[in-house]
Structure 1
Amino acid sequence: MPRRATAAVVAVALVIGSAACTSTGKAGTGQTSGGHRSAADTAQSKFFNQADFDRQMAQRRIAPQGDPNTPWLQMIQPAMVDTGRYAKPGKKWHVCLSNAALDNPWRVTGFTTMKAEVKLHPDIGEFTVVDAGGKDDKQIADLADLQTKGCNVLIVSPNTTGALTPAVEHACQSGVPVVVFDRGVTTDCPVTFVHPIGGYAFGADSAEFIALKAGKGGKVLALRILPGVDVLENRWAAAKVIFDREGVDVVGVEFNNADPAKAKSIVSDYIQRYGTLDGVWLDAGFASVATVEAFQDAGKKAPPLTGEDEQDFLNLWKKDRLTAIAPTYPVYEWRTAIIAATWILSGRPVPHEWILPQPIITADTLDDYLDPGLPPQFFSTCGCQHMPGFPKDWGGK
């Protein structure tokens, strides 16, 4: 997918002061008894880390190493680690996955892509998958059980950061190499952590666009999925930095629990309250179409908003000529997680932190990400368009 791999990334250098830290609120409407929450009266998340923020802002400007035609193999500032002690030559490998959940279309596209990647590696003799269904206690139990199943490598996509960190540390102590991907943990014991640049970059890219379009004093609604997941917390933390700096009036910060119907209801309430909005910032794209529909139902033009690379939003963007941007959290990292596991079991060095490029979809690159014939909630950054079984295995025609 050469055009997708080379999508332009707009970089803006940021200099900010130290941020205050408090714990995040629990999932819900995002409202307090006194009314909506604004950025002005919401302190930074306990997940905010100034050094990590600065690093991701810089990484947006760094060209990744490797072939842009295979972005799932590219690396940004890799520090390679020796994996010789984990090599298992001359035998079929048992690869095990502890997955947080298959509770949204991004994860469904990702898991479909991961299974296709497994088929490309004849040395993988068995692929065992357990799904936690979005429950921390279930995933903790899953990880303990997998350590009795003879896994040669353990791949983990954590449900939440804090709760899964001790379980991942315990898995590392078993001697089986651990690959963490997608969501992170607060330990460096895994052999590699696979992820795109990160949540700060995602949040900053989208917030810069919204702030530019809304202007100083512009009224912006922030729609979030749920608290407690590091990458999502970091997206909002970065957006808050941008909105505070640019003087944007964040009139509400609301959780929708990845439920488009709930998101649409929230947006409708804010339209009734304010008459209109100058922008809607979303920490993920699941509710972007529902957001546009809320404005259409109210007889209003949708303001500048953010989305991701799911087909329903991209098609609506093109059809209605929306003012939009789609930072991505590329699905191809599900490929990279399997590839990292095979490299480790081959004794091939891997980056201790495998940082992947994170393309941004703009009006100029929108057509490059449209995949005709794919389902509405297919995510086009899967890197799967030339894999065996595409598009049928992904629900396409």
Structure 2
Amino acid sequence: MDLIRKSNLLVCLSLVCLSTCFLACTSGKKTYVIGVSQCSEDSWRMKLNDELRDATYLHDNVELHVVSADDNDKHQIRQINAFMKEDVDLLIVSPNQMNTVTPAIDRAYDSGIPVVLFDRKTDSGKYTAFVGADNEKIGRTIGEYIATRLGGKGTVVEIRGLEGSSPAIERHKGFVSAIRKYPGIRLLASESGTWLQQSGDSVAAKMFARGIVPDYVFGQNDRMAHGAWLAARRCGLEGRIRFVGIDALPGEGGGIELVRDGVLDASYIYPTRGDIVMQQALSILEGRPYERDLYMKAALVTKDNAETMLMQAEEMSHISDQLEKLHRRVDFFFTQYSHQKVYFLLCAIILLLVIVAFAAFNRMVMVRRRMERETAEAKMAFFTDMSHDLRTPLTLIADPVERILDDENLTGRQRHMLGIVRRNAALLLKLVGEILDLRKIQGGKMDLTVTEFNLADAVRLWVDDFKPLAASYEVTIVQKADGDLTVKADYYKVERICYNLISNSLKYNRKGGTVTVEAVRRGGSVEITVADTGVGIPKDVVSRVFDKFYRVRGGGSGTGVGLAVVKAFAELHGGRVSVKSVEGEGSEFKVELPQKVENAILSTPDTLSKHPEGREPDMQKQRKAWIEDVDDDIDGNRQGMSSSLTSGGLGYVAEPDGTSASRPLALVVDDNADVREYVAHLLGGEYDVRQAADGKEGLGMALKTVPDLIVCDVKMPVMDGLEMCRRVKAETATSHVPVILLTSNAQENQRAEGYDSGADAYITKPFSSKVLLSRVRNLLENRKRLKYVYASGADDEARDEADPDSRFMADFGRVVRERMSDSSLSVETISSVLGLSRVQMYRKVKQLTGQSPVEIIRVTRLKKAERLLKTTQMTVSEISYDVGFSSPSYFSKCFKDYFGVQPGEMRETY
């Protein structure tokens, strides 16, 4: 916890330093936020926006937000309101219309936000400054130009801009005032457009359609003038009418190009000058003097100066592009410089963090290793103390059992139960011995009793010990060893190494598999290799199989001590052990030992000379117990070893699945063969018993046979007991079957988990056989009491929908009622509709009601017939066919057997 607190403090200090660095990199100048609301988005305004952005290059403390209203008053009002909420420092607005947008601009001005109007004005005086051209003067200039070109005589048409916009009003006013001086000039029409080319086209086309064909068309901007020219060309008036516009933008499709190409007779430069607008805004923000109404100069463009104007515009555009590129490069260099400063600081901080983290991690690893070492030592000390304490009671159990087994008066059942006790006592003694050996090695107190022997002969002898066991499980065991492999080593410990490896290979092999044991010389060493074709070891845990007390998940029974002993004994000889494994294909364990153990005293124990096989009497007993233990483990780890225990020769009536009709069927599921067989023997006196070695096999057997009861272990390979219980309760065929969980997990949360999975009872190990049998009888008696409920209401539609068994019986009754009139209705038909096999259907209905499905169908038909006799005028024959009987005579017989009277007699009674 101290390390964590120190690390958190360091991170906080680093963040403070980083924040300080960022603040230091920030300029001390105030940043101004300027909002720009354009009334529309066209080439003239796009040019103005570009100029505004270019102007910010010289002012790095300006943040520009540009939006367009797209000729929509409501949209522009919302934009101005949004800028007010953002609390911008200054607002630049080009009003779409004078009257409608004015209130929003006035509110912004009244709130203290400086307002700069450009291009267009409002009908209010509430603005800080105005920047634009003198539109009235422009209108007069165009009027003078047209009058001069017409020689004071002719006709003119005007296409105005958006109705209510200040440029449209002012240009019209100036234009009319100019032509009014020339009595010979007549204004045939003056109609509004929308500043767009389409509006100029539309307005002109309508005029031409009415027969208005003027000498000149004045469009208040170049786009509307161009649209009018297009309309004239469509109407065949090209060449007869001349067109004049305003804006004179450079570039492709701009007004200057239209004048040069003869589309327009003239245009008037309407300056954008975004730089002047930005300069005016900054003068206001920074408190410098400024001119409230700033009118920009303009000029007329005709055919004579259009080419020159275009050349100048192209040159200006080129210079602007160069400036843009230069600015981008400068920005790039400044950004790079800023980033490099930040990166440098970050690298310094990260380096510091890495150094501290490495130191903390290194210390944490050391602490963890020390804790693991201390935990392992504490665990080993605990097991050692327990092992010492267990040896005496185990000895007092094992020897009396051996003596009792010598009694010839034992029954077969008693001998079998005592055999289980003997095998498990021997298993515990072997485990105790291995734990004590590990403790000795760990404490440096294990000595080597070195003898000289032929390893090839010893390997053949050890393999021969396992051949009968391997043959019984249909596993081939092969031995390969050189003829002369003389070694100087501890015979007993090398034997323990081989026994452990061979037994493991047999435990986790398959039927028809192979175990190969090979001993060869490699230079000054010998190698013992044990390979199998079994299930293999998962890749992610293969490196941990030699750890003390480590068990592969789903690997069946075992303590996790055997392979740890193999590694310890190999290293005690100065050798090493390794493993290669492919999951699903098999494993190969290789032990490399020196041919001669150095720094060891060579001894020649009398035991080796007295016993041809080189084994002490105690070793012979251990060998026998070891082989029995391996036999038991293989039986526990293999699948498909189920057997049915029945009381022979009693002649029970067979049910559809071949089980006894008079005895309940119990399924025992446990991966430990002794426990499984012990429980089966306990139940065998009153029940037919089936066995399964794991949850997956048990679930398959439960679905196939539908037992009356399941006794299941919790911890099992492949599928554990909790998952099996959940699946049993989820299946329609087996949801009613009581499940008893047997487990060594005795904690409350573990018991709760068992009941949550659907278990009907939870019994902890070691358990009392009396308690188990009593609980089994109690569950089956409770199930019998429910039979009356289900049987008496088999044809009743009212069921508890929350209970799966009630739902099942309701569905069963519904199918019977719906198909009652069909005389061919059978159990197979109903089971098909309900999604069960005939056996599952038969056993479930029998267990729930105590009656067979055929009996329930017949009783349901007879009860329906009784109601029809009492409530209708149908004849007996009609009723018999209506309820599904194939003949009236058989119906009458069944009716008499069930109700005690003939159908006709019952009708006469009512």
Counterpart code for 1:169: D
Partner of 2:320: 387
1:97-112 alignment to 2 at 5 Å?
A: 97-102=36-41, 104-112=42-50
Note the C-alpha offset of 1:270: 4.1
The whole-number CA distance in structure 2 between the counterparts of 1:128 and 1:153 is: 11
The whole-number CA distance in structure 1 between the counterparts of 2:314 and 2:287 is: 29
Go from structure 1 to structure 2 and tell me whether the alpha carbon gap of 1:143 and 1:276 turns closer, same or farther (over 3 Å shift): closer
Note the C-alpha offset of 1:299: 5.5
Equivalent of 1:117, from 55, 67, 71?
A: 55
Partner of 1:58: none
Partner of 2:306: 366
1:1-397 alignment to 2 at 5 Å?
A: 90-102=29-41, 104-124=42-62, 126-196=63-133, 198-247=134-183, 248-271=185-208, 273-274=210-211, 276-297=213-234, 298=236, 300-308=238-246, 309-310=248-249, 311=251, 312=253, 313-320=255-262, 324-332=265-273, 334-370=274-310, 386-388=319-321
Go from structure 1 to structure 2 and tell me whether the alpha carbon gap of 1:263 and 1:195 turns closer, same or farther (over 3 Å shift): closer
Go from structure 1 to structure 2 and tell me whether the alpha carbon gap of 1:92 and 1:290 turns closer, same or farther (over 3 Å shift): same
The whole-number CA distance in structure 1 between the counterparts of 2:314 and 2:280 is: 19
Note the C-alpha offset of 1:115: 2.1
The whole-number CA distance in structure 1 between the counterparts of 2:207 and 2:80 is: 42
Counterpart code for 1:101: S
The whole-number CA distance in structure 1 between the counterparts of 2:120 and 2:34 is: 19
Q: Deviations over 1:168-219 (max 9, x none)?
A: 22212222222221111233332211112x2111111111111222344512
Q: Deviations over 1:141-168 (max 9, x none)?
A: 3222212213122222212112222222
Alpha carbons 1:221, 1:277 under 8 Å: kept: yes
Alpha carbons 2:97, 2:163 under 8 Å: kept: no
Q: Name the SS of the counterpart of 1:187 in structure 2.
A: coil
Go from structure 1 to structure 2 and tell me whether the alpha carbon gap of 1:118 and 1:94 turns closer, same or farther (over 3 Å shift): same
Alpha carbons 1:224, 1:255 under 8 Å: kept: yes
Go from structure 1 to structure 2 and tell me whether the alpha carbon gap of 1:391 and 1:288 turns closer, same or farther (over 3 Å shift): farther
Note the C-alpha offset of 1:371: 5.3
Counterpart code for 1:107: R
Counterpart code for 2:272: V
The whole-number CA distance in structure 2 between the counterparts of 1:209 and 1:142 is: 40
Note the C-alpha offset of 1:256: 3.3
The whole-number CA distance in structure 2 between the counterparts of 1:358 and 1:293 is: 27
Go from structure 1 to structure 2 and tell me whether the alpha carbon gap of 1:276 and 1:199 turns closer, same or farther (over 3 Å shift): same
Counterpart code for 2:243: L
Alpha carbons 2:38, 2:67 under 8 Å: kept: yes
Go from structure 1 to structure 2 and tell me whether the alpha carbon gap of 1:156 and 1:260 turns closer, same or farther (over 3 Å shift): closer
Counterpart code for 1:226: L
Go from structure 1 to structure 2 and tell me whether the alpha carbon gap of 1:383 and 1:145 turns closer, same or farther (over 3 Å shift): farther
Go from structure 1 to structure 2 and tell me whether the alpha carbon gap of 1:335 and 1:251 turns closer, same or farther (over 3 Å shift): same
The whole-number CA distance in structure 2 between the counterparts of 1:186 and 1:130 is: 22
Q: Deviations over 1:96-119 (max 9, x none)?
A: 2222221x3222222222222223
Counterpart code for 1:387: S
Alpha carbons 1:113, 1:384 under 8 Å: kept: no
The whole-number CA distance in structure 1 between the counterparts of 2:205 and 2:35 is: 44
Note the C-alpha offset of 1:122: 1.1
Go from structure 1 to structure 2 and tell me whether the alpha carbon gap of 1:225 and 1:120 turns closer, same or farther (over 3 Å shift): same
Counterpart code for 1:249: R
Alpha carbons 1:94, 1:153 under 8 Å: kept: yes
The whole-number CA distance in structure 2 between the counterparts of 1:161 and 1:238 is: 18
The whole-number CA distance in structure 1 between the counterparts of 2:74 and 2:141 is: 34
Alpha carbons 2:116, 2:130 under 8 Å: kept: yes
The whole-number CA distance in structure 2 between the counterparts of 1:233 and 1:381 is: 32
Q: Name the SS of the counterpart of 1:148 in structure 2.
A: helix
Counterpart code for 1:203: G
Alpha carbons 2:259, 2:267 under 8 Å: kept: no
Counterpart code for 2:122: V
Q: Name the SS of the counterpart of 2:194 in structure 1.
A: coil
The whole-number CA distance in structure 2 between the counterparts of 1:239 and 1:138 is: 31
Go from structure 1 to structure 2 and tell me whether the alpha carbon gap of 1:212 and 1:183 turns closer, same or farther (over 3 Å shift): same
The whole-number CA distance in structure 2 between the counterparts of 1:99 and 1:106 is: 11
Q: Name the SS of the counterpart of 1:223 in structure 2.
A: strand
Counterpart code for 1:94: V
The whole-number CA distance in structure 2 between the counterparts of 1:163 and 1:266 is: 24
Alpha carbons 2:229, 2:238 under 8 Å: kept: no
Go from structure 1 to structure 2 and tell me whether the alpha carbon gap of 1:132 and 1:269 turns closer, same or farther (over 3 Å shift): closer
Q: Name the SS of the counterpart of 2:181 in structure 1.
A: helix
Of structures 1 and 2, the one with the larger relative CO (CA 8 A, separation 6+) is 1
| Higher Rg of the two aligned structures | 2
Go from structure 1 to structure 2 and tell me whether the alpha carbon gap of 1:95 and 1:352 turns closer, same or farther (over 3 Å shift): same
The whole-number CA distance in structure 1 between the counterparts of 2:237 and 2:91 is: 51
Partner of 1:48: none
Q: For structure 1, which segment, 239-248 or 293-302, has the greater mean C-alpha deviation from structure 2 after superposition?
A: 293-302
Q: Name the SS of the counterpart of 1:307 in structure 2.
A: strand
Go from structure 1 to structure 2 and tell me whether the alpha carbon gap of 1:384 and 1:345 turns closer, same or farther (over 3 Å shift): farther
Alpha carbons 1:201, 1:238 under 8 Å: kept: yes
Alpha carbons 1:203, 1:236 under 8 Å: kept: yes
The whole-number CA distance in structure 2 between the counterparts of 1:148 and 1:208 is: 47
Alpha carbons 1:195, 1:354 under 8 Å: kept: yes
The whole-number CA distance in structure 1 between the counterparts of 2:208 and 2:141 is: 25
> What 5-or-longer segments of structure 1 have no aligned partner?
1-88, 373-379, 393-397
The whole-number CA distance in structure 1 between the counterparts of 2:213 and 2:70 is: 37
The whole-number CA distance in structure 2 between the counterparts of 1:384 and 1:222 is: 32
Could you tell me the TM-score, scaled by structure 1's length?
Answer: 0.65
The whole-number CA distance in structure 1 between the counterparts of 2:193 and 2:178 is: 22
Q: Name the SS of the counterpart of 1:246 in structure 2.
A: coil
Note the C-alpha offset of 1:355: 1.7
Counterpart code for 1:280: V
**Identity, % of aligned pairs?**
22
Note the C-alpha offset of 1:344: 2.0
The whole-number CA distance in structure 1 between the counterparts of 2:107 and 2:286 is: 24
The whole-number CA distance in structure 2 between the counterparts of 1:382 and 1:343 is: 29
Counterpart code for 1:193: F
Counterpart code for 1:112: D
Q: Name the SS of the counterpart of 2:121 in structure 1.
A: coil
Could you tell me the TM-score, scaled by structure 2's length?
Answer: 0.30
The whole-number CA distance in structure 2 between the counterparts of 1:371 and 1:135 is: 36
Q: Name the SS of the counterpart of 1:286 in structure 2.
A: helix
Go from structure 1 to structure 2 and tell me whether the alpha carbon gap of 1:258 and 1:347 turns closer, same or farther (over 3 Å shift): closer
Q: Deviations over 1:76-131 (max 9, x none)?
A: xxxxxxxxxxxxx83122122222221x322222222222222332121x222333
Note the C-alpha offset of 1:266: 4.0
